[in-house]
Amino acid sequence: MRTAMAIAPDGARNAADLRDPASFDHVGRDAGATFAAGGVLADLADHDSRIVVGCADLTYVTRLATFGARHPDRFLYYGISERNMIGAAAGLATTGLIPYVCTFACFSAILGYENFRTDLAYPRLPVRVLGTHAGISMGFFGTSHHATEDIAALRAVANLTVLSPCDPVATEALLRGTVDHDGPIYFRVGRGRETAVYQTVDQLRLDRPTVLARGDDVLLVATGVMVQECLAAAEALRADGIGASVLDVHTLKPFPGEAVAELAAAHRAVVTVEEHTVEGGLGTMTVEALAAAGVATPVHKHGLRDEYALVGPPTHLYRYYGLSGDGIATVARRLLDRKSPTPLVADPLWTDQDRADVYARLGVPR
Amino acid sequence: MTEVLAADRDVVSMLQDRSVEMRLANLRLVETAGSGHYGPCFSCMEIMVSLYYGLLRVRPDEPAWPDRDRFVLGKGHACSALYPILADLGFFPDARLETFTRLGSMLGDHPDMRKIPGIDFSSGSLGHGLSIGTGMADGVRLAGRDSRVVVLLGDGELNEGQVWEAAAYASHRGLSNLLAIVDANKVSVDGATADLLSFEPIDRRFAAFGWVAQRVDGHSHTALLAAYREFDDRRAAEPDGPPTVLVADTVAGKGIDFIEGMAEWHVGYLGGVDRERAIASIRRMFTNESQEDR
């Protein structure tokens, strides 16, 4: 068999002769990002011959090159053919292997959706698909490179597990803890610029969401990189004398509804925060869980509305959509201030005017 | 005539008998459902029979035997041609055939690997099978197994772009243990593939993708067995060589003379006297061809 793309043992790539400090190539662009999967899987594969990794042209960007360099015989390369890669992974899994295939979330979950359903979930095969750069973290690359529908779409797929680590330690914990899981898994991963939330892997329990901050007033339910923003929001609220709890829902499917509802019952209000449409994602699952448990704590689903995101630098987009710490804190205050709120506060608490104010500071002239 | 050729003649004769029996078994199966894929099942009956009685190494009492050859029915809608074969080989009792398509049956009109012993992959959505097969071919080789992987595709299925993603991968990778067979029955649901969206010359298109491509008469057991033998010779001689595709020229509904070649018989039902006519037509199969084979 011809081996896959040749990766230097140290993962190094060609370097051009750049003279200006502002210049950068793909190596420079990717520098500083932290993706745990390549190294974790390479370590696991040192002792587990079932593990194979497949990539589709984003090997260096996603740091799976680390695996390819250490285990070239178990690194499979598919070129820019994501659906074929997912199908091939299913075939590999039927022979007793545990394939991990990786590309951006928009090209795994969105482009490959039917392959998820038909090739992985229907036959319940132990394939793991990593979708990196989820949500709007690709920023100015635009809607084709955003994935703001993947949670809603994939929660509808039976047999599938959906995991959403917020940082590299959480990624490692979830990868290590699910090697022997009997079924397919989607890992929803950020763009590798996440600040650390967890210090050690044992701070994350697979069987329950993680309470990362405690306060009596509002519960901030978050997933993925919104966990960091919610922790920042909790700090801001504390300065105002408002107690906020932050819950990291690292496992979206199966959804830990009872744990979420139990915690919600102990607060005056709940804000769900997701880098995703509020139609069918974390917020929807939370509302359903509270209704099922008979918990009447008012909930607001914060995230993207039924819309595509603007183009812009990721940090500017987060501010524009109220998904930065300050924006989330504002939304929480407004929910707590609401007189006789309904169980689901559906009107946007981060308003068009809020967006316009951010735009006036950061946006280009209309 | 040498002894080897005489033995081959006996094998071909046996396979022809099986092909007739399995067509008749398919008619019985379809009676339960009241609907059948006559066209696409009968076009590939010789292919399936020659594979299961003449090539594939499988263990009906141990369906998950790791060293088995794999078969992926890309054109999953032909599963009712396969079910009677699997039952005959002993993968499951004949009585199960009588449950075909009924509420809760393991036997739907597209196959489910989690329910049916002997089915290596679930199928029904066209364009996936060859990708699955490349994964299997890689997997068995990484495990050091000698298994063959055979994928059966329809010619209409070649419209799906994913087939060509998999075709590119398989040749680039050197998956000599992968055998694709295209059941080129020349029709899909809407009509003649040549009119709708032609992929001819199929063999040359695969060859351009780096495959060993060969056209065969898909209703000739002699031709199919010879092609399988050449495939085995090649993969033995060149383990990292190219994959093989057999473009099997076939006739939709082959054996039922009054529906042969008709796109209108992708799905249908033959009842009463038409069923009797179909049985009589099927029984006449090979009465001339078997002479030609000799």
The verdict on a CB contact (< 8 Å) between A99 and B124 is no
Strands (E) located in chain A: 51-55, 75-77, 98-104, 128-132, 161-163, 185-188, 210-213, 218-222, 244-248, 251-253, 269-277, 299-304
Q: What are phi and psi of B180, to 5 degrees?
A: -100, 140
Separation of alpha carbons A355 and A13, rounded Å: 41
Q: Which CATH class is domain A207-362?
A: alpha beta
Q: Tokens 């509802």 sit at which residue?
A: A261
| pLDDT tens, residue by residue, A235-293 | 999 999 999 999 999 999 999 999 999 999 999 999 999 999 999 999 999 999 999 99
- Contact by Cβ (8 Å): B172, B210: yes
With H, G, I as helix, E, B as strand and everything else as coil, classify residue B72. Answer: strand
Q: Indicate where chain A has its CATH 3.40.50.920 domain(s).
A: 207-362
Contacts for B80 with CB less than 8 Å, ≥ 6 apart: B26, B29, B30, B33, B36, B37, B41, B100, B109
Asked if A96 lies within 8 A of B66 by C-beta distance, the reply is yes
**Structure-token pair, residue A146:** 């955003």
- Angstrom distances, CA of residue A197 to CA of A133, A172, B49, B224: 18, 13, 59, 62
A&B contacts, CB < 8 Å? 108
Cross-chain residue pair A91–B124, CB shorter than 8 Å: no
Does B115 reside within a domain? Answer: yes
pLDDT band at A24 (very low <50, low <70, confident <90, very high): confident
Amino acid (1-letter code) at residue A331: V
Chain B residue numbers with beta carbons less than 8 Å from the beta carbon of A119 are 128, 131-132
A213 pLDDT above the threshold of 90: yes
Residue B232 burial (C-beta neighbours within 10 Å; 0-12, 13-18, 19+):
middle
C-alpha–C-alpha distance, residues A240 and A257, integer Å? 30
Cα separation, A255 vs A62, whole angstroms: 27
Q: Give the pLDDT of residue A215.
A: 98
Contact A87 B174 (CB under 8 A): no
Q: Tell the burial category of A131 from Cβ atoms under 10 Å away from its Cβ (0-12, 13-18, 19+).
A: buried
> Tell me, what's the pLDDT at B55?
97
DSSP strand pairing (A128-132 vs A185-188): parallel
- DSSP-derived letter for residue A292 is H
The verdict on residue B53 lying in a domain is yes
Q: Which of B157, B182, B186 is nearest to B254 (CA)?
A: B186
Task: Kindly list the residues from chain A whose CB atom is less than 8 angstroms away from the CB atom of residue B139.
Answer: 91-97
What residues of A are in the B interface, CB distance below 8 Å? 1-2, 52, 73-74, 76, 78-79, 81, 83-97, 99, 114-115, 118-119, 122-124
Cβ <8 Å between B128 and A119: yes
Chain-wide mean pLDDT for chain A?
Answer: 95
User: With b meaning 16 or more CB within 10 Å and e meaning fewer, what string describes B137-155?
Assistant: bbbbbbeeeebbbbbbbbb
Determine the Cα–Cα distance for residues B18 and B29; give it in Å rounded to an integer: 16
Does the beta-carbon distance from B166 to A118 stay under 8 Å? Answer: no
Q: Contact B131/A87, CB-based, under 8 Å?
A: yes
- Amino acid symbol at A240: D
Every domain range in chain A assigned CATH 3.40.50.970: 15-188
Can you give the CATH number for the domain in which B26 is found? 3.40.50.970
Which helix (H) or strand (E) element contains residue A357? helix A352-362
Neighboring chain B residues of A92 at a CB cutoff of 8 Å: 135-136, 138-139
Q: Is the peptide bond preceding residue B111 cis, with omega within 30 degrees of 0? A: no
Of B124, B136, B240, the CB nearest to A2: B240
Out of B113, B125, B169, closest to residue A114 by CB: B125
Considering only the beta carbons, identify the residue of A90, A122, A124 that sits closest to B135: A90
User: Do residues B286 and B16 lie in contact, with contact meaning Cβ atoms separated by under 8 Å?
Assistant: yes
Q: Which of A255, A270, A342 is nearest to A301 (CA)?
A: A270
Residue A145: Cβ within 10 Å count: 16
Give A149 to chain B, closest Cα distance, Å: 23
Task: Find chain A residues with C-beta within 8 A of B122's C-beta.
Answer: 118, 122-123
Q: How far is A45 from chain B (nearest CA, A)?
A: 14
Predicted pLDDT of residue A3: 67
Q: How far apart are the first and last CA of chain A?
A: 56
Chain A residues with beta carbon closer than 8 angstroms to that of B135: 87-95, 99
C-beta atoms surrounding A6 within 10 Å = 9
User: Residue B4: what pLDDT?
Assistant: 54
Give every CB contact of residue B155 below 8 A, 6+ residues apart in sequence: B182, B183, B184, B185, B186, B188, B193, B199, B202
Give the count of domains, chain B: 1
**Inter-chain contact B165–A83, Cβ cutoff 8 Å?**
yes
Going from the C-alpha of B126 to that of each of A87, A119, A291, B130, B154, the distances in angstroms are 12, 11, 40, 10, 9
Taking only Cα atoms into account, the Rg of chain A, rounded to an integer number of angstroms, comes to 21
Please indicate, yes or no, if residue B288 is contained in any of the structural domains: yes
Those residues whose C-beta lies under 8 Å from the C-beta of residue B57, and which sit 6 or more positions away, are B67, B68, B69, B147, B148
B143: chain A residues, CB-CB within 8 Å: 95-96
With beta carbons under 8 A apart, name residues in chain A contacting B173: 1-2
**pLDDT value, residue A45:** 98
DSSP 8-state symbol, A308: P
Q: Does CATH number 3.40.50.970 belong to domain A15-188?
A: yes
Tell me the pLDDT band of A14, cut-offs 50, 70 and 90: confident
Residue pLDDT, tens place only, B229-280: 999 999 999 999 999 999 999 999 999 999 999 999 999 999 999 999 999 9
Res B1: pLDDT: 38
**Structure tokens belonging to residue B148:** 């063959």
Q: Shortest CA distance to A308 belongs to which of A144, A134, A110?
A: A144
For residue B161, the surrounding DSSP H or E stretch is helix B161-173
Strands B191-192 and B187-188: antiparallel
Contact state of B165 with A84 under an 8 Å Cβ cutoff: yes
Task: Report if residue B1 sits inside a domain.
Answer: no
**CB neighbours of B227 closer than 8 A, spacing ≥ 6?**
B214, B216, B246
| Nearest beta carbon to residue A95 from set B131, B140, B165 | B140
Contact A81 B168 (CB under 8 A): yes
pTM of the predicted model as reported, rounded to 2 decimal places: 0.93
Percentage of residues in chain A having pLDDT higher than 70: 99
Contacts with A, B 127-156, CB within 8 Å? 128, 131-143
The domain containing residue B185 runs over which residues?
A: 6-293
Which tokens sit at B86? Answer: 């699997």
Q: Is residue B126 part of a domain?
A: yes
Kindly report the nearest CA distance between residue B29 and chain A, in angstroms.
25
pLDDT score recorded for residue A170: 98
Within 8 A of B150 by CB-CB distance, chain A residues are none
Contacts of B162 in chain A (CB under 8 A): 81, 83-84, 87
Asked if B134 and A1 come within 8 Å (Cβ–Cβ), the reply is: no
Q: Kindly report the backbone phi and psi dihedral angles of residue A331, in degrees, each rounded to the nearest multiple of 5, phi listed first.
A: -60, -40
Of all helices (H) and strands (E), which one includes residue A150? helix A150-155
The pLDDT of residue A33: 85
Q: Which two tokens stand for residue A264?
A: 């919600």
Give me the interface pTM, i.e. the ipTM: 0.89
As averages over each run of 10 residues, the pLDDT of chain B (294 residues) reads: 63 96 96 92 98 98 98 96 98 96 93 97 96 98 97 97 98 97 96 93 98 98 97 97 98 96 92 95 83 45
Asked if residues B139 and A92 have their Cβ atoms less than 8 Å apart, the reply is yes
* Rg (chain B; Cα; Å): 18
Cα–Cα distance measured from residue A73 to residue B241, given in angstroms and rounded to the nearest whole number? 18
